[in-house]
């Protein structure tokens, strides 16, 4: 039986075993998870950074390069990596554990792979709570890596203080689409695999688009080659610069809290809605030839 009090103490001390047990408790809504969450005290110095972008952009390779540099700077880092769910058991495929194998047992690094479990936004339904567990420990930075399912994963902007969108030069044809989706959430653009052809032109196009979203922060576009550690130091500098900016503009923090609160309220409201029960209820009405989806929803809620 997981001891909540010991778990809280372990989180505060940065004990990886306690952190892992607490994450399991929270993710699976085990007994005591609500009490644990209500006792968490966030570390004000912990940065939360989201990394998103299309599959194949090199997000995990970029994370691996960031880890290498941050660890060399004596930083403690946590990674919450949202893996595509297995279609058979909804478990994580754990691909990122393989790519970051060098740091899996490193004392300054904590890596947790979790399944998206069918979430349309590319995030696990309990990611807010899991991030808050990590924020209550001694980590300097918490990274959230998403599945990379496209524009629907804009929900990461409601959780991360800084959102990095990773692209590759081959995505040039998709630039116009970015305006309506991922473009709106990017705090930093990274053009990875920038040793490929058209990388310079693609980066220039992104810079032009970034200038259309001018406020207190001018969105930087960084060219990187993650496998060769190119552009990684500059990326860390920009992350720190953005964190400094958002501390000065408290409105952004309030908006982040509103988004997180909204998502948590949605989860609470939907807790008792079970798909299998919905299936049976709809099946019963369809059999009676009297099914109206709008009447059904009104009655069901």
The neighbour count for residue 43, using CB atoms within 10 Å, is 18
Backbone φ and ψ for 94, nearest 5 degrees, come out as 60, 30
**CATH hierarchy code of domain 42-267:** 3.40.50.300
> What confidence score (pLDDT) does residue 247 get?
75
As a whole number of angstroms, the distance between CA 175 and CA 157 comes to: 19
Note the pLDDT of residue 177.
54
Q: How far is CA 100 from the centre of its chain?
A: 17
Structural domain boundaries of the chain? 1-41, 42-267, 273-300
Q: What is the pLDDT of residue 53?
A: 84
Q: What is the pLDDT of residue 209?
A: 78
d(CA 99, CA 93): 12
pLDDT score of 217: 84
**Cβ atoms 53, 165 nearer than 8 A:** yes
Which pLDDT score, from 0 to 100, does residue 248 have?
65
The torsion angles phi and psi of 85, rounded to 5 degrees, stand at: -70, 145
31 alpha carbon, distance to own chain's centre = 25
pLDDT digits 0-9 by tens, 120-152:
444 667 888 999 999 999 999 999 988 665 544
- H helical segments located in the chain: 4-13, 16-27, 33-38, 59-72, 95-99, 127-135, 175-178, 199-210, 232-248, 250-270, 275-287, 293-300
Low-confidence ranges of the chain (pLDDT < 70): 1, 84-101, 116-124, 147-155, 171-183, 212-215, 248-253
Per-residue pLDDT at 213: 61
pTM of the model: 0.83
């Amino acid at each position: 039986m997981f001891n909540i009090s010991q778990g809280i103490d372990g989180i505060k001390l940065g004990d990886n075993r306690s952190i892992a047990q607490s994450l399991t408790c929270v993710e699976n809504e085990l007994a005591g998870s609500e009490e644990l969450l209500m006792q968490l005290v966030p570390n004000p110095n912990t940065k939360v950074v989201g990394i998103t972008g299309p599959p194949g952009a090199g997000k995990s390779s970029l994370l691996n390069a960031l880890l290498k540099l941050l660890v060399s700077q004596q930083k403690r880092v946590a990674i919450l990596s949202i893996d595509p769910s297995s279609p058979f058991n909804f478990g994580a495929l754990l691909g990122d554990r393989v790519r970051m194998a060098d740091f899996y047992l490193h004392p300054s690094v904590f890596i947790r792979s979790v399944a998206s479990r069918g979430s349309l936004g590319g995030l696990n339904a309990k990611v807010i709570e899991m991030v808050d567990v990590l924020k209550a420990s001694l980590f300097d930075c918490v990274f959230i890596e998403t599945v990379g399912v496209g524009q629907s994963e804009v929900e990461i902007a409601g959780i991360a203080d800084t959102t990095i969108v990773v692209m590759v030069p081959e995505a040039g044809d998709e630039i116009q689409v970015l305006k309506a989706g991922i473009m709106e959430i990017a705090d930093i653009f990274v053009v990875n695999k920038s040793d490929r052809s058209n990388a310079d032109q693609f980066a220039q196009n992104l810079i032009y688009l970034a200038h259309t979203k001018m406020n207190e922060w001018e969105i930087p576009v960084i060219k990187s080659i993650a496998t060769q550690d190119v552009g990684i130091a500059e990326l860390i500098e920009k992350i720190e610069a953005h964190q400094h900016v958002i501390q000065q503009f408290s409105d952004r923090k309030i908006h982040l809290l509103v988004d997180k609160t909204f998502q948590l309220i949605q989860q609470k409201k939907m807790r008792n809605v079970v798909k299998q029960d919905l299936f049976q209820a709809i099946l019963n009405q369809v059999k009676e030839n009297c099914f109206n989806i709008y009447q059904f929803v009104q009655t069901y809620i």
